[in-house]
């Protein structure tokens, strides 16, 4: 299981939890998690460390660290995934 303390603070990372690939962003002791699938046409997003955004390499959609749409062509933000931090481990609910 991925551990909270393996995630860099205020940064995004693509991780694998129980065979599921998810995008996570750590803010203190909290973790926000999203689908890695771009809501435009389904390419995989990547974390952009320079700008602190999630970017899609296919057609240039960008998303804020919290998954909100920054600009298209996607028309909505990243799909949220419910995760919990249990005893320092990240688990999908
Ligand atoms: S699939 Fe992501 S911008 Fe088109």
Per-residue pLDDT, 83: 95
Query: Residue holding tokens 């990243």?
Result: 78
User: Of all protein residues, whose CA lies closest to atom 1 belonging to ligand 1?
Assistant: 41
CATH domain 4-83 topology: Rieske Iron-sulfur Protein (2.102.10)
Per-residue pLDDT, 1: 79
How do residues 12-24 score in pLDDT, each as one tens digit?
A: 999 999 899 999 9
Instruction: Please give the number of the atom of ligand 1 that sits closest to the Cα of 43.
Output: 1
Establish whether residue 45 lines the binding site of ligand 1, counting it when its CB lies within 6 angstroms of any ligand atom.
no
State the distance from the centre of ligand 1 to the C-alpha of 58, rounded, in angstroms.
Answer: 5
Total-model pTM: 0.93
Establish whether residue 69 lines the binding site of ligand 1, counting it when its CB lies within 6 angstroms of any ligand atom.
no
Nearest Cα neighbor of 35 from 72, 1, 63, 73 is 63
Per-residue pLDDT, 59: 98
* Mean pLDDT for back-to-back runs of 10 residues, the chain (93 residues): 90 94 94 97 98 98 98 97 93 91
Domain ranges for the chain, please list them. 4-83
């Amino acid at each position: 299981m991925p551990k909270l303390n393996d995630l860099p603070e205020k940064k995004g990372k693509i991780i694998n939890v129980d065979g599921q690939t998810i995008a996570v962003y750590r803010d203190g002791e909290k973790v926000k998690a999203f689908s890695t699938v771009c809501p435009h046409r389904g390419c995989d997003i990547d974390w952009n460390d320079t700008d602190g955004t999630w970017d899609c390499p296919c057609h240039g959609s960008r998303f804020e660290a919290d998954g909100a749409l920054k600009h298209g062509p996607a028309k909505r933000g990243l799909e949220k995934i419910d995760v919990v931090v249990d005893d320092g481990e990240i688990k999908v609910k």
